[in-house]
Amino acid sequence: MHPRASTAIAGLLALCGCASTPQLPPIRDGSAVAIDVGKSAPAMGSTQIENRALGHDTSTGAAAGAVAGGLWGFACGPFAFICVPGGALVGAFTGTVAGAGIGLTGALSNDKAAQLRERLQRSAQANPPVDALRRDIAERARQHWRVTAGDASVTLTIELQDLLLTSSRDEQIGFVARVRVSARQGGADGPVSQKLYEYVGPTSGLAVWLDERNDFVDTSIRLAMQQLAAQIVFELARA
């Protein structure tokens, strides 16, 4: 491979690999901590159902297209260092479009999606996830800190952001919950750090989710809140 072409491809790949995970400052054991757990507007709206088949087929198509386009670029001979990255970009775009067309076939029908949303919303109304999250956070927090409603050295604001479902081409349904945590050090003017936590549960067949004879949906939500609470408190109490 032409050395300039290698450098160009490496540069393109590097652009896709730059990411960092924010960290919240640890809270020492025995600290006075005020905790406010609530939910944001998106968590109260209509449940979103993400078509995971679309994302998978789109990314697969993009990767295949980029490789094919990059190989085509070598036909430029001495100008390969220009044609290879250009061909890869064009190929990735073409592959993305083709993959998206395939992925759309994995979406649930409107009727099934409506049944699934209704089932989740009924469960969430009967047993609000934010209440479960509040209980789990408080229970774990008291094992490390002095939870108070008055003066505190740290104020935690915990928002349930999203409750959404995922679907695959073979109607495997997954549950995803996201929580944003803001930690304010000191008083009202103290510095604030934020982090988004995500729970991605295992997938199960659509029939299991819609079966009214089991408590599968209630259990899935309860497990998600327990896992999120455990992760949040564990990371904050790691000092």
pLDDT of amino acid 75 = 60
Q: What are the domain boundaries of the chain? A: 25-51+108-236
Higher-confidence residue: 45 or 157? 157
What's the pLDDT at 188? 76
Q: How far is 125 from 127, CA to CA, in rounded Å? A: 6
Lowest-confidence pick of 87-101, 104-118, 186-200: 87-101
pLDDT averaged over every residue in the chain: 78
| Number of other residues whose CB lies within 10 A of the CB of residue 108 | 19
Domain 25-51+108-236 has CATH 3.40.50.10610: yes
Provide mean pLDDT across the span 2-20.
44
- Alpha-carbon gap, residue 141 to 230, rounded angstroms: 9
pLDDT at 182 over 60: yes
Among 47-61, 109-123, 221-235, which stretch is predicted with the lowest mean pLDDT? 47-61
Residues in the chain, overall count: 239
Task: Tell me how far apart the alpha carbons of residues 69 and 123 are, in angstroms, rounded to a whole number.
Answer: 49
- Secondary structure of residue 218 in the 3-state scheme: helix
- Reading the block at residue 135, the tokens are 């209980």
Task: Please enumerate in sequence order all residues whose Cβ is within 8 A of that of 145, keeping only pairs 6 or more positions apart, or say none.
Answer: 27, 29, 30, 31, 32, 33, 154, 237
Residue 17: which residues within 8 A CB-CB, separation 6 or more? Answer: none
- Both tokens of 10, joined, read 């490496």
Lowest mean pLDDT among 14-23, 132-141, 178-187, 221-230: 14-23
Tell me: pLDDT of 73 over 70: no
pLDDT of amino acid 63: 54
Q: What is the pLDDT of residue 162?
A: 86
Instruction: Specify the pairing of strand 154-167 against strand 48-51.
Output: parallel
Q: What is the pLDDT of residues 95-140, one digit of tens each?
A: 444 433 333 345 789 999 999 999 999 999 999 999 999 999 999 9
Of 204, 163, 160, 207, nearest to 181 (Cα)?
Answer: 160
Please state the rounded mean pLDDT for residues 206-227. 95
Q: What was the pLDDT predicted at 21? A: 65
Identify the pLDDT of residue 173.
Answer: 95
Amino acid at 153: S
200 vs 2, more confident: 200
- Say what the pLDDT of residue 19 is: 41
End-to-end CA distance of the chain: 50
